[in-house]
Structure 1
Amino acid sequence: MEVNVLIKIRYGRKLILLTMISCILLLSAVGAKLKMFQTVITTFYGEKLLNTKQINKYTIIADFDPVERILTGDENVTYTNNSSITFNALYFHLYPNAFKSEETAPFEKGEMQLAYPNGFEPGYIRINSIQNNREALNYVIMGMGDNILKVYLNKPLEPGKKISLNIDFSVKIPPSCGRFGYGENTINIANWYPILAVFDHKGWNLEPYYAIGDPFYSDIANYRVEISMPKEYILAHSGNCIKKESIDGKIRWTLEANKVRDFAIVASDKFKVIDDEIDGIKIYSYYFEDKFGDIALDTAKDAIKIFNQLYGEYPYKQFSVAASDFFVGGMEYPNLVFIDQSLYREETKKILEYVIAHETAHQWWYGIVGNDQVDEAWLDEGLTEYSTLLYYEKKYGAKKRDEIYKDFILKYYHAYTNTQQNKNSATYRSINQFKDAQEYQVLVYYRGAMFIKDLREKLGDELFFKILKVYFDKYKYKNANTENFIEVCEQISNQKLRENFRKWIRYEKE
């Protein structure tokens, strides 16, 4: 009897032990499968949630002097070293310094009269001090036109570590009808503060403010901007207005924007504003002429809805279209686009719609899915220009899309290429390698869109739109490149497509 009890006890212990082992093995297997599944999801679709601890943060407190047109600012920036190397210095772009002289102003010679209708006057940014934990840091201003700020750190910044800097600065806004400057109606405050350069596989990206294209490349960051302006000014801006306060005879606007690449403002004492809502997103139209403010609002609403359906949801609460003293047509910034106010006329309303649809598409291609706009400008511009055609297709039908394609793309592409003796059809190249803005536009915008159109025809609608949705989802809030886009195209389609990229844009894997 004792033996039987002992056997039962031993058997019971073995059973418990075997059960425990089985549970452990089962949990391990489930865990391994879950891990493997998560690895597949991450590899194919990208990280679903951005680790907010790795996002840079800017807090800027600024005050505008309307007489001298000077912004004085204090910027606190928290930077995380997300690389695998240790930094002894950090680099910032000082874009306003491009406006210090006529030689470095980011306009082609033939544009200077349009950019400065009342004659050239300089604009610039001055750095007064830089501190870390109230300890002064050494720095040097360098690069073409003094457009790069190098800040020496008092101790090395190791991988995964953070640092917080305070930069005291002032900005002189020039009389320029471009991204940065003022005209008769608006003050365009864009690319105006010290912004961190991107560190990637190439190292620090320190390109100057070129006259051609949109020479910007930045990481996602969280912003809080408090800007004090005269009471009569209305602001169109990135992000959301958290509050407005009357302080010392001015209005202090507190603005917040999370997970955006930049922060811009258009200010005017003449703005009229209307708004509406689509898909839970507030759409604002800032304008001067009543009839065309409605056209701008309707175009933006329809574009947001169309691109939401085609690519993925616009993840912000508001989007603003602002008529501006801006002679270059349109320019995209997070949650905000500048539109040349001279397009708000009866004879140019067709162009107005096209430009607004194009700039709205940039909220997906550049804004949410970023890329190096200096070295690979075709990637966002080609997708955006073709997205403009999709706007017309989904809103008006294929016949209208084809008409727009013929009138706005093919006609100008062939008119240009047929007159060029020394033809260089390479779309994939840095913007400083294009001879002028016309060549850049023809090859980057038009040929880029022609390539995306050809890709759609080759793959068919089901695969094509699945590719764009997966590409958007995978690189949302990240910076992508041409190689990343090819990989998604080939994975989804299960086809070899590199030859198409080589043929159309002259892309060769580095």
Structure 2
Amino acid sequence: MKKVIAAILTAVLLLFCTACQTEKAAKEGGAAVFLPVESGQPERLAEETPAPSSDAIPFPQGGEPINRFDLQFTLDDASHTLVVQEKLKYYNGTGNGLTELYFNLYPNAFQTDGGGIELKTFEIEGEASELAQADGTVWKTELPEELPAGETVGIQMEYIVCIPNINNRFGYQDEVYNLGNCVITPAVYGENGWTVEPYVDLGDAFYTDIADYTAEIEVPDGYMIAAGGTETQPGIFEARNVRDFVFCAGKAYEQRSAEVQGTEIHVFCDKELPETGEFLLDAACKALTLYNELLGRYPYDTLTVVSSGLTGGVSGTEYPTLIMVAPEVPLEQFEMGISGSDGPGREYYEAQLAVTVAHEVAYQWFYGIVGNDQIQDPWLDEGFCRFAEYFYEQEYLPEEIEGFYWKRERFKDTDVMQRGGNENTISDQTKIGGSLYDWLNEPAEYSSGVYDKPAAMLYQMMLQMGGEQFLNALKEYVAVFAWDFVSPGDFRAFWNGKEDFSELFALYMGEA
């Protein structure tokens, strides 16, 4: 690992890193932190230090209860359906009495592709009830009596999920199933009441509360399960303090594992692609080691990486404790001599794949731990995850890769455009903000407005504040908003409390 510039983190927010051990060999040493040269910091602020064993971001302790799901899944690969028996103990933490509950039925967004939910039974405390469509994929039920604040109610339901034959995080192809967002989940009750936000086919159109899940999964013979959470018994998974539960199933999977600071990393990849699988494991180990240091240690026991190739035309997608990636090309093709002489080389594809893993692992902190409304404010997680790619690139990638567009250069270009330099266009002046519904009308600007410009703003904040101080504050930001939701107003208030960023925020986001 090349020598790098590292940041001293405060005694309260301890700096640490560990070895990433693969099945082939143990790699000693930890990740250091890159800071921009423009920050004016010394060349090296601190050497790597061993990681303490008990400084993971703590789960909520002694607070209010959270929703609890008990799920039974049965996958039928003949009919391409998933039978779900769901028991939900819904906790009313809204502070108000409730007379109705709202739910998200995301599979119904895929009805034109053959997807959807067929609800067989729906009961409240053992009594038959029903769900009625409120708006698109959002449905509601009337409670038989008001649910007081601080009380719980039991919901039982059975339904059949029809799985579409599409390239998607929810879909199947070639004896591989991705089963993301198949569970009927309660909508979020916010400051203005129930959040009714129908699914939109752009980005990650999900907004869910922290909950506990127990899932018993039955799949046909020959299939291997890759699921979120921890497998406590064969086919039974526990996922605590997560915003979603997801699993994949495939016949060609081969599993490989490693351990980083007490977290087991599992990679599921086609058994015909062992080199790609090993590369994914190495990239995930590196990303977790680095982000543990930068953001606070990952609190879960497991992190699963699934290489399924079924992510809807994008390079990756993410869920708490599980990410899906779709390599643009398998690394094995270079060994077979079929990479082609005119296209990018192996180093380029390795870099693209590694950065995809780094982005999706960063999501474990941004939205997974620090939540936000991904439909109304998608930049609050995607911008941080894009910014996190920069640190991974600086730490682990070679200094020169032909054709590879470094994030630092992208941030500079984006800053020039945002400030109205010679390269700017009207579209380049689009401010950060807007919902996925808004970005549907400007799809060409979506990536810039939701990913690159927020990351460029964070980069400029780091330059203004100074690297060491910024990284201390970044770790504090995660700790302050862990297991909660952050809004644009919260973001402004926190960071303006560290430094006067009002001019920078006005430039990128407009006046508050």
TM superposition score category, shorter chain reference:
0.7 to 0.9
CA spacing shift, 1:182–1:52, aligned 2, 3 Å: farther
Aligned equivalent of 2:92:
81
One-letter amino acid of the counterpart of residue 279, structure 2 = I
Q: Deviations over 1:383-405 (max 9, x none)?
A: 110011111223358889x9622
Q: Is the 8 A contact 2:188 2:207 kept in 1?
A: yes
Q: Determine if contact 1:239/1:335 at 8 Å carries over to the other structure.
A: yes
1:135 and 2:127 correspond? yes
Separation (CA, whole Å) in 1 of partners of 2:259 and 2:458: 31
Q: Does 1:460 align with 2:470?
A: no
CA contact (8 A) 1:58 1:75 kept: yes
- Determine the structure 2 residue equivalent to 1:307: 291
Note the C-alpha offset of 1:420: 5.1
Match of 2:379 in 1: 378
Letter in 1 for 2:285: K
Could you tell me which amino acid in structure 1 is paired with residue 79 of structure 2? E
Q: 1:388-442 deviations in whole A, cap 9, x for unaligned? A: 1111223358889x96225666669989995855555121111111124431111
* Residue 215 (structure 1) aligned with residue 205 (structure 2): yes
Secondary structure at the counterpart of residue 183 of structure 2: coil
Establish whether residue 97 from structure 1 lines up as the match of residue 102 from structure 2: no
User: What's the secondary structure of 1:315's corresponding residue?
Assistant: coil
CA distance in 2, matches of 1:316, 1:235: 19
Query: Counterpart in 2 of 1:60?
Result: 71
Query: Alpha-carbon deviation of 1:486?
Result: 2.2
CA distance in 2, matches of 1:390, 1:431: 27
What is the SS of the residue equivalent to 1:54? coil
The residue number in structure 2 matching 1:362 is: 363
Residues 426 and 505 in structure 1, CA contact (< 8 A), matched pair in contact too: yes
CA distance, structure 1, for counterparts of residue 148 and residue 424 of structure 2: 54
Please state if 1:282 is matched with 2:288.
Answer: no
Give the letter for the 1:319 counterpart: L
| Residues 1:164 and 2:154 are matched in the alignment | yes
Q: Identify the residue that residue 434 of structure 2 maps to in structure 1.
A: 429
Selected match of 1:238 from 223, 228, 241: 228
For residues 409 and 65 of structure 1, do their structure 2 counterparts lie closer, same or farther at Cα, with a shift above 3 Å needed? Answer: farther
| Residue 268, structure 1, aligned to residue 274, structure 2 | no
Amino acid at match of 2:297: E
Q: Given the superposition, is the C-alpha separation of residues 343 and 414 from structure 1 closer, same or farther in structure 2, using an over 3 Å criterion?
A: farther
Q: Quickly say closer, same or farther: Cα 1:405–1:341, change in 2 above 3 A.
A: closer
Deviations for 1:7-38, whole angstroms, at most 9, x for unmatched residues?
Answer: xxxxxxxxxxxxxxxxxxxxxxxxxxxxxxxx
Closer, same or farther: CA 99–415 of 1 in aligned 2, 3 Å: farther
Kindly report structure 1 stretches of 4+ aligned residues shifted beyond 4 Å: 396-400, 406-424
- The residue number in structure 2 matching 1:152 is 142
The 1:460/1:94 distance shift into structure 2, 3 A limit, reads: same
Out of 485, 489, 494, the residue aligned to residue 491 of structure 2 is: 485
1:46-57, aligned counterparts within 5 Å? 49-51=60-62, 53-57=64-68
CA distance in 2, matches of 1:462, 1:406: 18
Distance 1:92 1:267 in 2: 26
Decide which moves more: 437-446 or 165-174: 437-446
> C-alpha separation between the residues in 1 aligned to 2:125 and 2:299?
34
Give the Cα separation in 1 of the matches to 2:511 and 2:182. Answer: 33
| Whole-angstrom distance in 2 between the partners of 1:53 and 1:423 | 44
One of 493, 506, 510 as aligned partner of 2:510: 506
Give the alignment of 1:280-429 within 5 angstroms. 280-288=262-270, 289-324=273-308, 325-326=310-311, 327-345=313-331, 346=334, 347=346, 348-396=349-397, 404-405=406-407, 421=426, 425-429=430-434
Aligned-CA RMSD value = 2.4
Map of 2:452 onto structure 1: 446
User: C-alpha distance in 2, partners of 1:64/1:409?
Assistant: 44
The answer to whether the 8 Å contact 1:212/1:440 transfers is no
If you compute each CA radius of gyration, which structure gives the higher value, 1 or 2? 1
SS at match of 1:275: strand
Shift of the 306–483 alpha-carbon distance from structure 1 to 2, 3 Å rule, reads: same
Contact 1:374–1:431 (Cα < 8 Å) also in 2: yes
Q: Which runs of 5+ in 2 are unaligned?
A: 1-56, 335-345
Return the alpha-carbon distance in structure 1 between the equivalents of residues 323 and 71 of structure 2: 21
Measured after TM superposition, the shift of residue 338 of structure 1 is 0.7
AA partner of residue 197 (structure 2): E
Question: What is the distance in 2 between the residues matched to 1:297 and 1:47?
Answer: 26
**Larger helix proportion of the pair:** 1
- Aligned mates of 1:243, 1:84 — CA distance in 2: 37
1:505 Cα deviation (Å)? 2.4
Q: 1:343 to 1:369 in 2, by over 3 A?
A: farther
Partner of 1:42: none
Gaps of 5+ in 1: 1-45, 102-120, 245-252
TM-score, normalised with respect to structure 2: 0.79
d(CA) in 2 for partners of 1:486, 1:59: 38
TM-score of the pair, normalised by structure 1: 0.80
Say if 1:367 and 1:455 are closer, same or farther in 2 by CA, change over 3 A. Answer: same
- Contact 1:47–1:474 (Cα < 8 Å) also in 2: no
* CA deviation profile, 1:163-202 (whole Å, cap 9, x unmatched): 1110111100000111100122521000101011001113
Of residues 172, 176, 187, the one that matches 2:166 is: 176
Q: 1:413 to 1:284 in 2, by over 3 A?
A: farther
Q: Judging changes above 3 Å, is the alpha-carbon distance between structure 1 residues 412 and 228 closer, same or farther for their aligned structure 2 residues?
A: farther
Out of 445-454 and 342-351, give the one that drifted further. Answer: 342-351
SS of 2:390's partner is: helix
Q: Is the contact between residue 470 and residue 488 of structure 1 (CA under 8 Å) also seen in structure 2?
A: no
The code of the aligned residue for 1:362 comes to Y
In 2, distance between residues paired with 1:139 and 1:278? 44
CA distance in 2, matches of 1:157, 1:213: 34
Number of the residue aligned with 2:3: none
Indicate the SS of the match to 1:230.
Answer: coil
The 3 A distance-change label for structure 1 pair 507 and 160 is farther
User: What CA distance in whole angstroms lies between the structure 2 residues aligned with 1:212 and 1:437?
Assistant: 9
Distance 2:447 2:104 in 1: 25
2:5 is aligned to none
User: Does the 8 Å CA contact 1:343/1:351 hold for their aligned counterparts?
Assistant: no
Query: How far off its partner does 1:65 sit?
Result: 0.9
- Alignment partner of 2:406: what SS? helix
Task: Select 1:259's aligned residue among 222, 241, 250.
Answer: 241
The C-alpha deviation readout for 1:231-276, integer Å capped at 9, x for no partner, is 21111111001111xxxxxxxx111100000011111100111111
Partner residue, 1:249: none
Secondary structure at 1:364's aligned position in 2?
A: coil
Distance 1:165 1:51 in 2: 25
